[in-house]
Amino acid sequence: MLSKRVQEALNEQIRIEAESSQVYLAMASWAEIQPGIDNVTSFFYQHSDEERMHMLKLIHFVNERGGFATIPALPQPPITFPSIKHAFKELLKHEIFVSESINKVIDIALEEKDYATHNFLQWYVAEQIEEEALARTMNDKLELIGDDKGGMYLFDRDILTISMAAEAKHQK
Ligand code: OFO
């Protein structure tokens, strides 16, 4: 059975995962209308789907542990982005924020001696390490590319391979 505090913290995390999914969906839709970045577009759509999966996993956990997962209202995400580089900077910032928020839920679980929730959240800790590392890699590459169009072509060509490799590493 979840304590009230743990349930509230998990519900807040559900909101954050839903918001992440929404923010990345906005990036995906914006990217889709930019010329020549089809794989960047797919990357954002996939990332949005993954965040939704993270949200669902939390919803099921809360409900299975005798709590009640509440479905939150979400704020309007940014509609457009000044550049691809800017969108990836936002992605990294957002992932760091999510990691901090997971850590806070873990702190609460430990204070409440809820070891099941603590254990469940370790999956999210590992996932955040992977996602932050991936976002950093993307940002480093974009920094190197600068305004070079050829570099952007290669970035778009390679982005799905890079993210699939990171995902495979995480699942080992
Ligand atoms: Fe939910 O994994 Fe990133 O944010």
Tokens 């590319």, located at residue: 145
Q: What's the pTM? A: 0.94
What domains can be seen in the chain, in order of their start residue?
A: 4-171 (1.20.1260.10)
Q: Which helix (H) or strand (E) holds 7?
A: helix 4-32
Give exposure, 132-144, as e/b (b: 16+ Cβ within 10 Å): bebbebbbebbee
Does any ligand 1 atom lie closer than 6 A to the CB of residue 101?
A: no
Amino acid at 72: P
Q: What is the CA(33)–ligand 1 centre distance, in A? A: 25
Q: Token pair 């974009």 is at which residue?
A: 142
- Report in angstroms the alpha-carbon separations of 74 from 15, 62, 71, 166: 8, 20, 9, 29
Q: What is the pLDDT of residue 169?
A: 74
Q: Is 90 in the pocket of ligand 1 (CB under 6 A)?
A: no
Parts of the chain with a pLDDT under 70: 170, 172
Q: Is 127 left (phi over 0), alpha (psi -120 to 50) or beta?
A: alpha
8 A C-beta contact, residue 142 and residue 120: no
pLDDT value for 172 = 62
Closest residue by CA, ligand 1 atom 1: 51
Could you tell me the two tokens for 53?
């999966």
pLDDT in tens, 101-144: 999 999 999 999 999 999 999 999 999 999 999 999 999 999 99
Q: What is the Å distance from ligand 1's center to 150 Cα?
A: 30
Stretch (H or E) spanning 41? helix 38-64
- pLDDT score, position 68: 98
The minimum-distance atom of ligand 1 relative to the CA of 51 is 1
CB 136 within 8 A of CB 54: no
In angstroms, rounded to a whole number, what is the distance separating the alpha carbons of residues 164 and 166?
5
- Assess whether the C-beta atom of 23 lies below 6 angstroms from ligand 1: no
CA 51 to centroid of ligand 1, rounded, Å: 6
Do residues 81 and 72 make contact, with C-beta atoms less than 8 angstroms apart?
Answer: no
95 CB near ligand 1 (under 6 Å): yes
**Ligand 1 centre distance from Cα of residue 95 (Å):** 6
Best of 51, 96, 100, 102 for a ligand 1 pocket test (most atoms within 8 Å of beta carbon): 51
Q: How far is CA 123 from CA 36, 41, 81, 103, 119, in A?
A: 35, 26, 31, 12, 8
Contact predicate 45/29, CB 8 Å: no
CA of 121 to the centre of ligand 1 (A): 12
